[in-house]
Amino acid sequence: MPSRQEVSYFGAGPAPLPTSVVEAGAKAFVNFNDVGLGLGEISHRSPTANKILNDAKANLSALLDIPDNYEILFMQAGGSGEFSAVVQNLVPVWIERRRRRAEADVKKAQPGAEQAQVDELVFQRLQKEVDEELKLDYLVTGSWSLKASQEASRLIGSKYVNVALDARKANGGKFGKIPAEDTWSLTPTKKEGGKGSAFVYFCDNETVDGVEFQQFPKSLEAQGQDAEDERLVVADMSSNFISRKVDVSKYAVIFGGAQKNIGVTGITIAIVRKDLLPPQTATPSPALLHRLNIGGLPGPIVLDYAITAKNNSLYNTLPIFNLWIAGQVMADLMAEFSAQKVSGQEEVANKKAELIYGALDKFPQVYQVVPDASVRSRMNICFRVSGGDDAKEKEFIAGAEKRLLQGLKGHRSVGGMRASNYNAVPLENVQKLVKYLEDFATAQ
């Protein structure tokens, strides 16, 4: 039986954790701080649980320099659950903004009207605007953003979903490139002569396809102070979370499942701008949403950002052990990189990725990196062996397994190889992989 130190694991998720966190977690699961109970047994409303939650918030806020006007929410249901949550939470923001504007216009036009009459006129206008103007923009650059757009269509109807970018159309029907921004068909804002969308969604790093946005899209930058000129940007960062510096202020919502870079399955992190939550932005009543007949709204209460924020992420039972693991990972990063914060981890991630891509590019006759060089992911490095020759790829996997290099098989939907370079993958394990890549290539 190999030891933990002998195995080099490159699986895409659940992913490796720092050994120090795993060892501490084993003790904490049995008897946390010598209290006689494990972290899987204590009350999620206990002082101990609250300290774990608050410490995790503080460390994440420090790591990413999260501004004070953002809430950090710990939720469940993974990134896939957030595909639904962003629709459930941000479409009502769009509706409420329109309702307030309609109410102000109606009262101005008919100052003596009774409230019941005002409400009916507002509803009629709102229904028309929903039917004709409600749009959700999706940038589809890989398997996960595709699933997100499909979930939005399933919830509220495809007529409301604008696929502003389908990267497959510019790449022979496959993912692997991100076309130039001037080819995207984003819903025009008021400043651009349109009405604006409820939000724009993109997946910052596509785990399956090895595609990563290299920087924040310029076309999504703030255009002005008017809410009608703003694009509410939603980013799924499940697979590159806390791996590089991010300007949080550019986003309405950032979310990510924990099981790639930050912990174990069961915790989802959402960073949400506070002005999208009550009391700064009221939520339309369930009765109004029912009457507007938008499918899927209102949604499950456990995915409601406002309810989660109001209850400090403890509306329902939060898995405290899973939260503690994520908190330990964040605390260790803060301790290791100190003033550099997440930028220190970014340097390490970039170095490891450069080593792997360097070895692959050194032997182009043996290895072919799948995505275009302009969008190569630092986290999920996808490549084929000998042009996808089945026998050669099986030989590659078998040889890797003999060296205890595990988790290198690509996603079942695309095949090939995938080396996931998450934060907890040590540099020495990457060096072992690079050595194998060179040895395998020179033996061909």
What CATH number should be reported for the domain holding residue 199? 3.40.640.10
* pLDDT at residue 225 greater than cutoff 70: no
The answer to the question of residue 1 being in a domain is no
Rounded to the nearest 5 percent, the helix, strand and coil shares of the chain are 50, 15, 40
State CA 203 to chain mean position distance. Answer: 6
Rounded CA gap, 20 and 329, in Å?
A: 9
| Residue pLDDT, tens place only, 228-274 | 668 999 999 999 999 999 999 999 999 999 999 999 999 999 999 99
Are residues 114 and 221 both part of a single domain? yes
CA-nearest of 228, 253, 254 to 241 is 254
Confidence of residue 191 (pLDDT cuts 50, 70, 90): confident
Region 53-81: mean pLDDT is 97
Confidence of residue 283 (pLDDT cuts 50, 70, 90): confident
Rounded CA gap, 444 and 437, in Å?
A: 11
Domain that holds residue 181: 64-321
Indicate the residue among 321, 351, 379 that finishes a domain.
Answer: 321
Question: Crossing angle for the helix pair 390-402 and 427-442, nearest 10 degrees?
Answer: 130
Are residues 120 and 198 both part of a single domain? yes
Are residues 288 and 140 both part of a single domain? yes
pLDDT at 78: 95
pTM above 0.75, yes or no: yes
Task: Give the total residue count for the chain.
Answer: 444
| Residue pLDDT, tens place only, 4-38 | 999 999 999 999 999 999 999 999 999 999 999 99
Are residues 345 and 285 both part of a single domain? no
Burial 200-236, CB ≥16 within 10 A → b, else e: bbbbbbbbbbbbbbeebbeebeebeeebeebbbbbbb
The answer to the question of residue 436 being in a domain is yes
Provide the domain count of the chain: 2
Are residues 217 and 313 both part of a single domain? yes
Confidence of residue 381 (pLDDT cuts 50, 70, 90): very high
- Cβ–Cβ contacts within 10 Å for residue 174, how many? 12
pLDDT at 311: 96
CA-nearest of 411, 400, 418 to 8 is 400
What CATH number should be reported for the domain holding residue 351? 3.90.1150.10
Are residues 222 and 97 both part of a single domain? yes
Phi then psi dihedrals of residue 62, to 5 deg:
-70, -45
The answer to the question of residue 31 being in a domain is no
Rounded CA gap, 372 and 142, in Å?
A: 13
The amino acid occupying position 86 is V
The answer to the question of residue 72 being in a domain is yes
Confidence of residue 227 (pLDDT cuts 50, 70, 90): low
Per DSSP, helices labelled H in 202-341 are 286-292, 305-310, 320-337
The answer to the question of residue 328 being in a domain is no
Residue owning tokens 């939000």: 199
Are residues 306 and 414 both part of a single domain? no
Are residues 312 and 406 both part of a single domain? no
State CA 17 to chain mean position distance. Answer: 19
Are residues 198 and 89 both part of a single domain? yes
Q: How far is CA 25 from CA 8, 20, 264, 268, in A?
A: 20, 8, 11, 19
